Amino acid sequence: MSHILEGETPDEYLVDLDRVKDCVIGICEGKAFVREATKQGYNVAYRGDTVNLAFPTSKTRRGRVGKGVAQTLLTSREQAVLTSDDKLRWLTERESWRLQGIPDSYFDKAAAVTSKSQLYKQAGNGVTVDVVYEIAKRL
């Protein structure tokens, strides 16, 4: 994930922890404790891990934490990453496109004429070319 993430991001990408308090139990010393429907009741995300914050009040969600990987991209801002300064921040539109294997130059052209929400939708509705290529090689 580290090669996908942008260096500095504006504060607008920080997750408001009050809005996800039913999902994120707390963050301290490089760990985010994320509520999951497991025997333990939570999972731990470390710096660089992603957290799926879709449906934050759900009592039945499992697999919210991506250990060094991003989970399925949806059509809105629902993936967050635990930063080196112990904050949760949303993946940026550019990072979502990078996860789909799309070059920054293509993103820059699209971002010039497209809203942020549409950029998330385009990345979330995409099929990752690299994944399709690897599957096709094995057929």
Same domain, 72 and 100: no
> Using CA atoms, how far apart are residues 89 and 15, in angstroms rounded to an integer?
5
Mean pLDDT of the chain: 92
What pLDDT, in 10s, does the model give residues 33-50? 999 998 999 999 999 999
Residue 5 within any structural domain of the chain: no
- 105 in helix, strand or coil? helix
Q: Which residues contact 24 (CB under 8 A, 6 or more apart)?
A: 15, 17, 32, 33, 34, 35, 51, 53, 56, 88
Is position 3 within any domain? no
Q: Are residues 100 and 60 in the same domain?
A: no
Q: Are residues 51 and 23 in the same domain?
A: yes
Predicted pLDDT at 127? 80
In the chain, the number of structural domains is 2
| Structural domain harbouring 53 | 11-91
Residue 59 belongs to some domain of the structure: yes
Is residue 130 included in any domain, yes or no?
A: yes
